[in-house]
């Protein structure tokens, strides 16, 4: 880590062919613990016109439009939904995509208002250009506790600070780190909401 100064941007890259042939399946596998033995979480590419970006988002059914950050999918727990998307930018000279962010949120449906209340989020911003230590806190998977009093929801709780360089070294490593976060959520948080 290089505290008190800007550090170079981390690049988690994926060859274009791998994006087309395998990333959606990996995202579905990542999110499967939210469904238990149920069917896979539907995921799709979101085509954004005139943008050198490839977005993969989860949704409960095939969705259209560009508001993919608001799309939800049902979990195995009543009134608890997930949101997930990844944004990859095109690196033309390398014919690869670079991961810009992946965002996972767990929300609760308010049955009266029919609106969603955020419980927690796990974000990853590997191209973060903030000054340290915020860059290290935000680059890898980090937790936001949304269902807390201010200023806690704005705090970044890094989940992989001790081995951040390894986590940010490849698509496989960041997927493994996010899978660990999903495991904690589905084994620690979700059962508690199931008992409510």
Among candidate residues 144, 75, 131, 154, the one with its CA nearest the CA of residue 108: 75
The winner for highest mean pLDDT among 36-50, 88-102, 154-168 is 154-168
Q: Looking at the domain assignment, is residue 2 inside a domain? A: no
Q: Looking at the domain assignment, is residue 80 inside a domain? A: yes
pLDDT tens column, 37-46: 999 999 999 9
Q: Looking at the domain assignment, is residue 92 inside a domain? A: yes
Q: Looking at the domain assignment, is residue 7 inside a domain? A: no
Q: Looking at the domain assignment, is residue 8 inside a domain? A: no
- Top pLDDT among 63 and 14 is at 14
Domain that holds residue 39: 13-194
Q: Looking at the domain assignment, is residue 45 inside a domain? A: yes
How confident is the model at residue 2, as a pLDDT? Answer: 42
| Beta carbons within 10 angstroms of residue 106's beta carbon | 26
Mean pLDDT, rounded, of the chain: 91
CB-CB contact of 34 with 182 (8 Å): yes
DSSP assignment letter at 93: G
Enter the pTM of the model.
Answer: 0.92
CB-CB contact of 35 with 49 (8 Å): no
How confident is the model at residue 37, as a pLDDT? Answer: 92
How confident is the model at residue 8, as a pLDDT? Answer: 55
Q: What angle do CA 60, 63, 65 make, to 5 degrees?
A: 145
Residue 177 CA to residue 170 CA, distance in Å, equals 11
Q: Looking at the domain assignment, is residue 86 inside a domain? A: yes
How confident is the model at residue 5, as a pLDDT? Answer: 43
**Residues 6+ away with beta carbon under 8 Å from 174:** 12, 99, 102, 124, 126, 140, 141, 167, 168
- Residues recorded for the chain: 196
Angle between helices 171-184 and 16-31 (to 10 degrees): 10
Task: Say whether pLDDT at 66 is over 90.
Answer: no
Domains contained in the chain, number: 1
Task: Say whether pLDDT at 49 is over 90.
Answer: no
Residue 41 CA to residue 65 CA, distance in Å, equals 19
Q: Looking at the domain assignment, is residue 165 inside a domain? A: yes
pLDDT tens column, 171-191: 999 999 999 999 999 999 999
């Amino acid at each position: 880590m290089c505290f008190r100064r800007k550090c170079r941007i981390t690049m988690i890259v994926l060859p274009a062919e791998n994006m087309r042939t395998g990333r959606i399946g990996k995202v579905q596998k990542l999110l499967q613990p939210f469904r238990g033995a149920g069917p896979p979480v539907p995921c799709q590419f979101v085509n954004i016109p005139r943008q050198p970006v490839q977005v993969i988002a989860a949704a409960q059914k095939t969705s259209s439009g560009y508001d993919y950050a608001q799309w939800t999918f049902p979990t195995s727990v009543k009134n608890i939904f997930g949101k997930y998307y990844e944004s990859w930018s095109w690196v033309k000279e390398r014919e690869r995509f670079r991961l810009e962010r992946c965002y996972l949120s767990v929300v609760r449906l308010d049955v009266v208002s029919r609106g969603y209340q955020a419980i927690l989020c796990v974000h990853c911003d590997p191209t973060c250009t903030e000054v340290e230590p915020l860059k290290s806190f935000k680059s890898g998977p980090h937790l936001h506790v949304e269902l807390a009093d201010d200023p806690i929801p704005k705090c970044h709780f890094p989940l992989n600070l001790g081995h951040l360089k390894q986590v940010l070294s490849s698509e496989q490593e960041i997927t493994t780190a996010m899978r660990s976060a999903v495991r904690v959520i589905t084994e620690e948080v979700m059962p508690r909401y199931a008992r409510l």
